[in-house]
Amino acid sequence: MIDTHAHINMKEFEDKLDLIVENAISNNVTHIIVVGMDFFHNERSFILANTYNNMFATVGIHPTTLKGNVKDLEKYLLHKRVVAIGETGIDLYWNKDNLELQTKYFKEQIELAIEYRLPIIIHTRNSFNEAYEIIKPYKGKITGVFHSFSSNYEDALKAIDLGFYIGISGVVTFKKAEELKEVVEKIDLKHLLLETDSPYLAPIPFRGKKNEPAYTNYVLKEVALLKNIDEKIVDKITTENAIKLFKLENIL
């Protein structure tokens, strides 16, 4: 398995990284994509990807950060272990008053991703429609993933029509996540990625505790259960999806 979205670049993981990697590998999570969100965490992602041979980095400016110049991301983008831009996107949960500024940062990162032929990792919280409308004019020019997807089946189809993957996190294990469970049941596996969003969104039975890449295994088990197929098939296809999206064929 590949955990396609983990924030193990946060300070709380700093002295536990060897154990985090050991736990992941023992749970068949062989690779981790460490996701940036501001300039401190982008640099940490880059360092980790160049320290651990089973990690890759992404760099971006999160919609709740909105600091710095997007052009400053360029120094990372030609390095082979930097595999995407993000996370970026729109967040109308924490702040509804700066949509114009969020849109500016999001568009700049979309255009940078197109320039460097990289996929983009999209954050949407209470904001799928806004993010969708921003990225729709770029259809055919860019791909990526709607990470930790939190909308409904109809929106999942819209995302797929744009050429994007659907990121499935530990939320899918929650009893009340009915819309997300429907997405998993109805959407073909070829459009799904597995992720943890560590340290957030730990799956059942760890809900409320710190998440880590090893728990990708619990996301996989729930996807297999919902689709009524063998876990090995889910593992194989979602891993192939991640390799394709993040162009890992020549790196793994």
- SS3 string, 19-57, reads HHHHHHHHCCCCEEEEECCCHHHHHHHHHHHCCCCCEEE
The C-alpha atoms of residue 116 and residue 234 are separated, in whole angstroms, by 30
pLDDT at 252: 64
Coil, helix or strand for 84? strand
Tell me if 250 is assigned to some domain.
no
**Total domains present in the chain:** 1
> Among residues 99, 65, 78, 180, which one has the least CA distance to residue 86?
65
Residues recorded for the chain: 252
- SS3 string, 202-241, reads CCCCCCCCCCCHHHHHHHHHHHHHHHCCCHHHHHHHHHHH
Print pLDDT tens along the chain (252 aa): 999 999 999 999 999 999 999 999 999 999 999 999 999 999 999 999 999 999 999 999 999 999 999 999 999 999 999 999 999 999 998 888 999 999 999 999 999 999 999 999 999 999 999 999 999 999 999 999 999 999 999 999 999 999 999 999 999 999 999 999 999 999 999 999 999 999 999 999 999 999 999 999 999 999 999 999 999 999 999 999 999 999 998 766
Domain range spanning residue 90? 2-245
Tell me if 39 is assigned to some domain.
yes
Q: Is 209 exposed, middle or buried (0-12, 13-18, 19+ CB in 10 A)?
A: exposed
Tell me if 191 is assigned to some domain.
yes
- Which tokens sit at 31? 């690779």
- Which tokens sit at 79? 């390095």
Tell me if 69 is assigned to some domain.
yes
In one-letter notation, the amino acid at residue 16 is K
Tell me if 19 is assigned to some domain.
yes
pLDDT, one tens digit per residue, over 6-59 is: 999 999 999 999 999 999 999 999 999 999 999 999 999 999 999 999 999 999
Tell me if 207 is assigned to some domain.
yes
Task: Kindly report the CATH number assigned to the domain that includes residue 27.
Answer: 3.20.20.140
Tell me if 251 is assigned to some domain.
no
pLDDT at 90: 97
The C-alpha atoms of residue 88 and residue 103 are separated, in whole angstroms, by 10
Tell me if 47 is assigned to some domain.
yes
